[in-house]
Amino acid sequence: MTLARLMIAFVGTELPRSAARRIREHGVAGVTLFRVHNVGDPPQIRRLTAAIQKARPAGAPPLLVAADQEGGQLVGLGEGTTQFAGAMALGATGDEELAERVAAATARELRALGVNVNYAPVCDVANNPANPALGIRSFGDDPESVGRLAAATVRGLQGHGVAATAKHFPGAGDTAADPHHGLPLVPRTNAELAGRELVPFRAALEAGARMVMTGHFALPGQNDDLPTSLSAAVLRDLLRGQLHFGGVSVTDALDMRALAQGSAQIVDAVVALRAGEDVLLGTADERALERLVEGLAQAQRRGLIDADDDAAARRRLGDLRRWLARYDQPSLDVVGCGEHRALAAELAERSMTLIRNDDRLLPLKPAADARIAVVQSMPADLTPADTSSTVPPTLASALRRRLAGVEEILLRAAPGEADIAGLGERLSAFDLVVVGTFSAHLQPAQAALTAAVLASGKPAVTVALRTPWDLLAYPSARTHVCSYGILPPSMAALAAALLGEAQFVGRLPVDIAGLHPRGHGLMA
């Protein structure tokens, strides 16, 4: 197999010699770009991807060059690309045509940057608010709705020459653990999977998704510690057999703690290939990658890699790479262009969701001399599949462009007792408070922050800046809004809606148990 079934990665904004050698001599399947390791500005990304393709053997079809450009909380190619709000914001609009347009714009930018595989759409159903790894990466908690939006995303991406990757098969929504840190359990029988988790994957595959990423989690009825990415029952029986998938399967990243790490990692890598996986997603740890390269070569020499399986996987990869070769590279001018920025603004505006307006505070109509406090903590990455920490807070500045009396109270990412204890006194000078929270239902400090604001007695608007379940942490809030993210277009849209310059038209894409059902949304 040489290394034709391995996606490599590396550290650096230029192609290292070691990576170029692996591409040239070992014939790897491709390269995954990671924001933390490889991404500067769009011209740099384009130069890097050109160098990657130049390193491949003469006459070979294009390598897979992949990234996590999901939008929302995971923008793998940096702030130079158009900042689309992501899956759950699309879920709040419920608009398949909009989802396809956003995916098409994303694909045009990826192609211009030299990226031809997007690790999207996320087909996981967000039916467990306690899931720490999913957040707003899902379209919602209704399988049929998730499926329609996932299929639209597949059409938009692949209509412009970017392979879509339906993930995380067979559905990682209903878990309370993060596979980056350990092996989660998804408590689903085969019948339950078919009726819920597999629905979006069926829709994505029917739309023609060329890749599927298998997740690292366990299912009941298998070995307790066998991840789905290493399971022949999942890969051969379910994905290839029942769903008739003929494209390329790829593991989730091999450095996730749901799998063995260190010297034992090669065992799981070989088991994945023997179970029917086409491609292994290697990461940028050079020592781990070298162990993987040596171990896979030895596994092949010892006959542990089935020759027929290897030939079939390489055939599927070849088909994909030849399909990618059909598409030309657009001009770099398309990245972050005016048309795409307008589309990002449209998505953000149409996703803003008003959940409660019991005190009729909205739209805000402050007096000319009113003082408004915007309270939030610094954005943080709540899972490794997260780029929120790179986004500067902009809600206060978006409001300040419209109102003179807006001041920002910005706390640490995890505000401590001292921060929160002093908040009431700081707020005494203000007439109104807007407080934004990040997954407050999972972070006690966020819940405590909001409790302090509500206890101040000041008129307050609470905003779930990330997941819509925050209201579970402060159910007494009387004026509550969901923005589904903190990217600048969403904060501009939120400011406009709060002040009545635009209407709230979004609808909840998930159920907030005991408080508000899916589809709920007010207008103000």
Residues 90, 146, 441: CA angle, nearest 5 degrees: 75
Helices 198-206, 143-158: crossing angle, 10 deg rounding: 30
Dihedral over Cα of 416, 420, 426, 431: its sign: positive
319 is catalytic: no
Q: Per the structure block, which two tokens stand in for 165?
A: 């990757």
Q: Per the structure block, which two tokens stand in for 144?
A: 């049929």
Closest CA to 84 of 45, 136, 151: 136
Closest CA to 488 of 209, 71, 67: 71
Spatial contact of 372 and 403, defined as CB atoms under 8 Å apart: yes
DSSP letter string, 213-227: EEP--B-TTS-TT--
What is the CB-side half-sphere exposure of residue 253 using CA atoms within 13 A? 21
Report the distance separating Cα 449 and Cα 465, nearest Å: 14
180 is catalytic: yes
Question: What letter represents residue 390's amino acid?
Answer: T
Spatial contact of 482 and 491, defined as CB atoms under 8 Å apart: no
Whether omega before 37 lies within 30 degrees of 0, making that bond cis, reads no
Q: Compute how many other C-beta atoms are within 10 angstroms of the C-beta atom of residue 22.
A: 22
Catalytic member of 160, 180, 340, 516 = 180
Report the distance separating Cα 298 and Cα 311, nearest Å: 18
Catalytic member of 68, 124, 252, 511 = 252
Q: Per the structure block, which two tokens stand in for 48?
A: 């890097």
Report the distance separating Cα 472 and Cα 31, nearest Å: 41
Spatial contact of 432 and 372, defined as CB atoms under 8 Å apart: yes
Report the distance separating Cα 493 and Cα 465, nearest Å: 12
CA dist 77 → 34, 68, 258, 468 (Å):
8, 8, 25, 25
Which residue bears the tokens 């920002």? 408
Spatial contact of 517 and 511, defined as CB atoms under 8 Å apart: yes
Q: How many helices (H) and strands (E) does the chain have?
A: 18, 16
Pinpoint the alpha helices (H) of 239-354. Answer: 265-275, 286-301, 307-324, 338-351
Which residue bears the tokens 């596994």? 299
Report the distance separating Cα 409 and Cα 35, nearest Å: 29
75's enclosing H/E stretch is: strand 74-75
Question: What letter represents residue 116's amino acid?
Answer: N
- Residues, the chain: 524
- Which positions are annotated as active-site residues? 180, 252
